[in-house]
Amino acid sequence: MPESIIIVGSKRSGKTSLLNYLNKITQVNYLRPEQPKAWPPRHFQFALVDFQDINMSQPESLVKEVLQQLKLEVPSACSLAVFSNLVKRQLSQPAVILMDNIGLAALETAFWRNMCSLGNCGKLSFVVTSLEPPEKLEHDKAFFSLFGHSLHLDALTENEARELLAHSPFSPEEIEWMLKESGCWPAPLQMLCDRRLQQLLLK
């Protein structure tokens, strides 16, 4: 199992987009020339939960959502103990739970310690996003002991943003406008690209 990772960044830095990309990575059919040929990891499973959804702060709702996305049995009543037993018995592939906006999670210590236990026994890894580093979060510290890596996201450099747009259908003038308007922040740059693509498709 890979080590768990926490992704820290301010708003508009692309944290949610990165998790959505990871969640769909096994469905990617096109690789850029510089990407490793072993990518994407087809044998991995992913489950994505967003703590902006109030239901994800209810332990039973959250674990049912995870079981469904991992294509495991979803019992009508699912306590943390039932969830743990199902994961230990039925999970046969490496699985990563992607947690967006973890700072909004209103879950008890028992939940985080249960996730920590599953991580320590090699059943699950986690990739979580946060506006704040883990030491400033009020969650149980045992959970964050799983995290071997921390990644900080910020605005793209101009060169990175240009590389991102290099294979786009946009004109040089459109690219310059997008770079200026977005300030090279991933989220607004992505929105500008999407809107322009939609316009092009309608022509």
Q: Give domain limits for the chain.
A: 4-153, 158-202
The pLDDT mean for the chain works out to 88
CA 139 to CA 158: how far, in whole Å? Answer: 36
pLDDT grade for 145, boundaries at 50, 70 and 90: confident
- For the ranges 2-16, 22-36, 185-199, the lowest mean pLDDT is seen at 22-36
Kindly list the strands in the beta sheet with 4-9, ordered across the sheet, starting from the edge strand earlier in the chain: 45-50, 95-100, 124-130, 4-9, 147-153
Class of 4-153 in CATH: alpha beta
Q: Please state the rounded mean pLDDT for residues 3-27.
A: 86
Residue 40: what pLDDT? Answer: 55
pLDDT band, residue 35 (cuts 50/70/90): low
* pLDDT for the residue 14: 87
Question: pLDDT class for 113, splitting at 50, 70, 90?
Answer: very high
pLDDT reading at 30 higher than 80: no
Position 41 pLDDT exceeds 80: no
d(CA 73, CA 153): 36
Kindly state the average pLDDT of the residues 3-10. Answer: 91
Locate 5 and state its tokens: 């990772």
Q: What is the pLDDT of residues 46-94, one digit of tens each?
A: 999 999 999 999 999 999 999 999 999 999 999 999 999 999 999 988 8
Q: Which residue has the tokens 């046969």?
A: 92
Mean pLDDT of 21-40: 67
